[in-house]
Chains A and B, each alone.
Chain A
Amino acid sequence: MDIIKTLHLGHRFEKKDEQGRVISANDALTDVNLSIEQGSFTAVVGRNGSGKSTMARNLNALLKPTQGTVIVDGRDTRDNENLLQVRESAGMVFQNPDNQIIADVVEEDVAFGPENIGVPTEQIWERVAQSLKSVGLTSCRMMSPGRLSGGQKQRVAIAGIMAMRPSCMILDEPTAMLDPAGRKSVMSAIRELNSSAGVTLILITHYMEEAAMAGRVVVMDSGRVVMDGTPREVFSDVPALRKMQLDVPPAAELAYLLRNRGMDLPEGITTREELTEAVSAAFKV
């Protein structure tokens, strides 16, 4: 079952002068065709300017396609009637932890989404408790967000989206502003949501170690999808990724270096374990 489907999605940004004439145009997205299956974990990578953020925002109707269509849970995002339902289905977590928290008490912020969609009061309490538990922040529920770490704030934001019971959660570079400890806590929270609760995830990131945790990696460059496959498949093509000025997970990079120096290693190594396995095996030969 496809939760999200994009058909020939294109998005053009136009700069207009005071008379409304177009002075410049930028095709941030061109002919993007993606289908996101329920329960999947998809990572979208690409350098700054590749269009990944623009695409994310087209998925929950924050931006409307200038070409093509986006269907979320069977609804066309261009139809204004569908706006609220599309956003309820496709929740979004943003990059800056502070700039998405509304309330001064954690539990009240998590309640913001359900309040907006008219959930009755007792159910709001239930959802808030459940969501906070699912990201491990139950003990922080009465705290002021100002006293939380970056990683905790992002988890509050994630809980806030979970409380809306979305069909899928889109995360736009959620760890870019966090320290390593924060990144770890956020990644482990979302992996848990995907594996135990079956939450469909779309993770926009430039950290390859994070993309390696997904089931599918979509690589974007200049507004188009240029690679689409499992992490194994995508990360084996180190030269292609390097050309786009993208990184590969360290294990894949080391495997590449070793292969170049003459060691015969299998393709598709992306994790530390896989690398040490393969290298040990090469030594035993």
Chain B
Amino acid sequence: MVRDVTIGQYYPVNSAVHRLDPRVKLLGTLLFLISVFFINNAETFVIVTFFLILVIRLSRVPFRLMLRSMRAILVILVITFIISALFTPGTELWRAGAVKITREGLNSGIYMSLRLAYLVIGASVMTLTTTPNKLTDGMEKGLGFLKIFRIPVHELAMMMSIALRFIPILMDELDKIIKAQKARGADFESHDLVKRVRGLVPILVPLFVSAIRRADELASAMDARCYHGGEGRTKMKPLIYRRADLIAYGVIFVYTAAVIFLSIHPFIWRQ
């Protein structure tokens, strides 16, 4: 059975964010993640939150999908909060025997959890609005300058996109191999660890052999279609910046500068 595996949970809808050049989104996400680490007061918190909500609204992705990505880290969030709250020294707010919670602890706990949550939401906005292949295209074009350092950027991007295409196929194959070996009495539920590891051989060997065979056939097919590396290749969908992309870059840079500034110099009325 074909497993409906959607890597990176791309949500197909036509929004301003979806239409942005992937390089803008890659850099934008990176800068956003950096900006999250500068949240240390009310002003920065407000600006970062405002920016995030703006982007989420523009992306037209339902908010519940963002929350779904939070589910995975819920446990970590709670633990982070608790550790910060209980173990930060400062003015005591509450005590129960040896356990105490301080105001500084609460503060720090809230900020740390918030940062973590924003990191995850920020990253998922990128994957929800950009297909994996667009991301590899973006990395290939954007990191093209690394070619000076002899890093095979094009080849790496090609490897990644081929890998993405074949993941569901190999998972299907894995299913079939497991079934075939089960039909020969193989036991995959043994409680004996040694047995379980040994039991992986009849699964992994055929899977590897199959993957290599596919790679060989694919290489022949690529040769037959005149693939010869990145030199001289044109593109069906070249990445070209449009006005919206340049505006987005502008907004991102201003935002990042603002956050860094405000984290160091909060508004005058505070002083």
A→B interface (CB under 8 Å): 57, 60, 62, 84, 87-88, 91-92, 94, 96, 98-105, 107-108, 111-121, 124-125, 128, 145-146, 157, 160-161, 164
Contact = CB atoms under 8 A, between A and B. Distances in A.
Given A108-B236, A118-B232, A160 B169 contact: no
Given A99-B218, A100-B217, A102-B165, A107 B228 contact: no
B163 to A, nearest CB: 11
Interface of B: 2, 131-133, 161-162, 164-165, 168-169, 214, 217-218, 220-228, 232-238
Contact of B162 (A96, A102, A120): A102
Contacts of B235: 115, 121, 124
Given A87-B223, A87-B226, A103-B165, A121 B218 contact: no
Contact of A118 (B161, B165, B223, B234): B234
B223 A62 contact: yes
Given A118-B232, A118-B234, A94 B226 contact: no
Contact of B217 (A99, A107, A125, A145): A99
Chain A residues touching B, majority SS: helix
A120 B224 contact: no
Contacts of A98: 169, 214
Nearest to B232: A118
A164 B228 CA distance: 15
- List the 6 shortest-distance A-B pairs measured between CB atoms, nearest first: A100-B221, A111-B236, A99-B217, A113-B225, A92-B224, A116-B226
26 contacts: A88-B226, A91-B225, A92-B221, A98-B214, A99-B214, A99-B217, A100-B218, A101-B165, A102-B161, A102-B218, A103-B161, A104-B164, A108-B133, A112-B222, A115-B233, A115-B235, A115-B236, A116-B227, A118-B233, A124-B234, A124-B235, A125-B236, A145-B165, A146-B2, A160-B225, A161-B225
A164 B226 contact: yes
A119 B234 contact: yes
A104 B93 CA distance: 57
Contacts of B223: 62, 87
A113 B168 CA distance: 24
A77 to B, nearest CB: 13
Given A60-B224, A99-B217, A115 B2 contact: no
Nearest to A116: B226
